[in-house]
Amino acid sequence: MKKFLLAFVILSFTLTAGVLKFDHYYPYEEVVQAVKKLKSTYPEFVSIKVIGKSTEGRDIWLIKINNPKTGDEFSKPAMYVEGNIHGNEIQGGETCLYLADYLLSNYGKIKKVRELVDRVVFYIVPVLNVDGRYHFFHDPATPDDFRGISVKKDDDGDGLVDEDPSEDLDGDGNIVMMVKKVKGGRFVFDKEDPRILRPAKPDEIGEYQIIGDEGIDNDGDGLFNEDGYGYYDPNRSWGFNWQPPYVQMGAGKYPFDIPETRAVAEFLKTHPNIMGFQDFHNFGGWILRGPGAPNVRYHYADVKVYDYIGNIGEKILPGYKYVVSWKGLYTTYGASDDFAYGTFGIFSFTNEEWKLQQDFNGDGKVSDKERMMWNDYILNGANFVNWHKFNHPQLGEILLGGWKKFSRRLPPVFMLPELIHRNAEFVIFHASQLPDVKIDEVKVEKLKNKIFRVTATIMNEAAIPTRSSWPVTKKIGRPDYAKIEGVKVITGGILQSPFNSSQLKVQEKLPWKIWIDQVPGKGAVRVQWLVEGKGKAKITFNSQKGGKLTKEIEIK
């Protein structure tokens, strides 16, 4: 048994090991190096390109994985995967890189991976908010800093922009909290653990007041850090169900007000083969689907497909909950997944990747004491800056202390491999359900003289239809079609019943090319033609999101 387990461990490592290592978080520069390394290691499958420039001029890189031996990218359904749309939510970048590395390194080892890479195109943007990621690594920050796009903005209405940001006063590389001892303040330090600052109880006299994040009052208005880096939220600026800033904070002046989201929108528009969309955020342990707000309702037939994938996702990601965004989390307008579905009919998910695991007593909550225990016993104190005195130039003696930027939202590095592997497997499952269409059966029947009836079954063996029901009902995009060439077509249409050839919905115009709304998931559409002539003919099925295929037949 021990030998078997050892062999299994070695085999598992062999299957998952790639050219990239995930023993640390990648700064932006290393992300770019990793993208280029994948290209140089797997040139037959990988092409890379810059799809746009960030607000500060950095490159936004995209990895395309396609096996050209099995067809052009636009002849296959495609999966778009994106990470780090919020600058501080960095593990999405590692998940994207791992997904690419895993697919490529295991192409020749795992049958399921090989079949998927042969059938589906992957477009992967590891980091969308490249400026936010850059600053999160290189600048002092709290766990929540550099989330948005740093567009210069006058937050406090004084005519100046970004003049009063947070600052690392003691030069330790962290932005933590400032508190000052004030008799009658609202907070006290806990007696059991004096590192924990908590609200004073009704029968306690408070001793400290929280000033805010570390910094000084740069503009002399009596407020601290109220006009830092301008904040545009890249996941509130998409052009579907967008709302202005007085409704949705961070929305910008208009949809696609920032180059980062414009670049992705343009890419989606010019790649109609994309039928799956995955965005990675943190945290909370959620598998989210739209709508982001209650004023939009997804088509009921599409919801069934979402539910199938989302419920399997809960098994792939133990502890994660599959929910509708506005019901399970909070309301968002102008989100990326809503844009992908509402504009292009793409099945879209957002994963909130990190679920806190400090709930030691199992009550479903994480207390400050449990969080501190986690930091002490698991991380040996690495994530917390102990309170220490500092002589503030404006406030006098204060205390500095609190959680570092890599705490709370990000798993410790030793837990990163499992997190990114499970989330990558969710993408792989989603991609495996993209349309898998075959011209399954062609039946040729001679009626009289040179007149024949040709019936072709277009079968979809995956759960996702060739077109989602939303664009079908909204008349968005081009329908699929099946056509026959090489013979004279008398009439043609879609067969309503597989048992009765007389139940034909005839297409009056151009009957050689039959328009099809969708080939349903795990279902089929049967097209039928009456043709005149004998010899070789060719049947073609063409779907922007379901792939393109042909089949040659003999009519005799």
pLDDT digit string (tens) for 259-287?
999 999 999 999 999 999 999 999 889 99
Q: Is 123 in the same domain as 244?
A: yes
How large is the average pLDDT for residues 401-416? 94
CA-wise closest residue to 79 among 95, 64, 101, 97: 64
Q: Domain with 505 in it: what CATH number?
A: 2.60.40.10
- Give the number of other Cβ atoms within 10 Å of residue 38's Cβ: 26
Say whether pLDDT at 454 is over 80: yes
Extended strands (E) in 186-226: 187-189, 197-199, 208-213
Q: Is 338 in the same domain as 441?
A: no
The values of phi and psi at residue 428, to 5°, are: -60, -40
Q: Among residues 331, 351, 371, which one ends one of the domains? A: 351
Cα gap 157→163, rounded to integer Å: 11
Say whether pLDDT at 498 is over 80: no
The string of pLDDT tens digits covering residues 175-207 is 999 999 998 999 999 999 999 999 999 999 999
Domain residues for the domain of 68 are: 2-136+232-351
Residue 519 gets which letter from DSSP? -
Query: Can you give the pLDDT at residue 298?
Result: 97
Say whether pLDDT at 10 is over 70: no
Q: What is the 3-state secondary structure (H, E, C) of 397-466?
A: EEEEEEECCCCCCCCCHHHHHHHHHHHHHHHHHHHHCCCCEEEEEEEEEEEECCEEEEEEEEEECCCCCC
Cα gap 140→166, rounded to integer Å: 9
Residue 25: inside a domain, yes or no?
A: yes
pLDDT band at 6 (very low <50, low <70, confident <90, very high): very low
How large is the average pLDDT for residues 330-339? 97
Output the six-digit token pair for 498: 């597989």
Strands 78-83 and 451-460: unpaired
Contacts of residue 525, Cβ cutoff 8 Å, sequence gap at least 6: 457, 458, 482, 494, 516, 519
Contacts of residue 335, Cβ cutoff 8 Å, sequence gap at least 6: 235, 236, 238, 241, 290, 292, 325, 350
Q: Collect contacts of 192-196 with beta carbons under 8 A, ≥24 apart.
A: 192/369, 193/369, 193/372, 194/387, 195/372, 195/384, 195/386, 195/387, 195/401, 196/368, 196/369, 196/372
Query: Can you give the pLDDT at residue 205?
Result: 93
How large is the average pLDDT for residues 459-480? 97
Note whether 468 and 347 are within 8 A (CB): yes
**CB-neighbour burial class of residue 448 (10 A; exposed 0-12, middle 13-18, buried 19+):** exposed
**Mean pLDDT for the chain overall:** 93
Say whether pLDDT at 214 is over 80: yes
Note whether 293 and 287 are within 8 A (CB): no
Q: Which of 44-48, 92-96, 366-370 has the lowest mean pLDDT?
A: 366-370
Residue 92: inside a domain, yes or no?
A: yes
Query: Can you give the pLDDT at residue 154?
Result: 72
Say whether pLDDT at 8 is over 70: no
> Sheet containing 197-199: which strands, arranged edge to edge?
197-199, 187-189, 208-213, 177-181, 396-403, 384-392
Say whether pLDDT at 15 is over 70: no
Residue 388: inside a domain, yes or no?
A: no
The string of pLDDT tens digits covering residues 517-549 is 999 999 999 999 999 999 999 999 999 999 999
CA-wise closest residue to 436 among 112, 5, 194: 112
Note whether 257 and 237 are within 8 A (CB): yes
Residue 371: inside a domain, yes or no?
A: no
Q: Is 124 in the same domain as 24?
A: yes
Contacts of residue 292, Cβ cutoff 8 Å, sequence gap at least 6: 241, 325, 326, 331, 332, 333, 335, 337, 338
Q: Among residues 316, 351, 386, which one ends one of the domains? A: 351
Residue 156: inside a domain, yes or no?
A: no
Helix axes 416-432, 91-105, angle to 10 degrees: 60
Q: Is 345 in the same domain as 453?
A: no
Query: Can you give the pLDDT at residue 14?
Result: 39
CA-wise closest residue to 272 among 96, 464, 436, 80: 80
Output the six-digit token pair for 20: 């990239």
Note whether 443 and 476 are within 8 A (CB): no
Strands 396-403 and 384-392: antiparallel
Say whether pLDDT at 411 is over 50: yes
Q: Is 245 in the same domain as 339?
A: yes
pLDDT band at 161 (very low <50, low <70, confident <90, very high): confident
What stretch of H or E contains 267? Answer: helix 259-269
Residue 292: inside a domain, yes or no?
A: yes
Note whether 457 and 526 are within 8 A (CB): yes
Q: Is 122 in the same domain as 19?
A: yes
Query: Can you give the pLDDT at residue 7?
Result: 41
Q: What percent of the chain has pLDDT over 70?
A: 97
Domain count, the chain: 2
Say whether pLDDT at 52 is over 90: yes
pLDDT band at 153 (very low <50, low <70, confident <90, very high): confident
Q: Is 115 in the same domain as 257?
A: yes
Q: Is 347 in the same domain as 445?
A: no
Q: Is 18 in the same domain as 128?
A: yes
Output the six-digit token pair for 250: 């961070």
pLDDT band at 5 (very low <50, low <70, confident <90, very high): very low
How large is the average pLDDT for residues 39-63? 98
Give the N- to C-terminal CA distance of the chain in Å, as an integer.
62
Residue 97: inside a domain, yes or no?
A: yes
Put simply, whether the predicted model's pTM sits higher than 0.85 gets the answer yes
Q: What's the number of CA atoms in the CB half-sphere (13 Å) around residue 537?
A: 28
Q: Is 13 in the same domain as 131?
A: yes
R_g of the chain computed on alpha carbons: 28
Q: Among residues 323, 351, 379, which one ends one of the domains? A: 351
Q: Is 334 in the same domain as 454?
A: no
Q: Is 339 in the same domain as 485?
A: no
Residue 171: inside a domain, yes or no?
A: no
Q: Domain with 82 in it: what CATH number?
A: 3.40.630.10
Query: Can you give the pLDDT at residue 17?
Result: 58
Q: Which residue has the higher pLDDT, 500 or 506?
A: 506
Cα gap 497→155, rounded to integer Å: 63
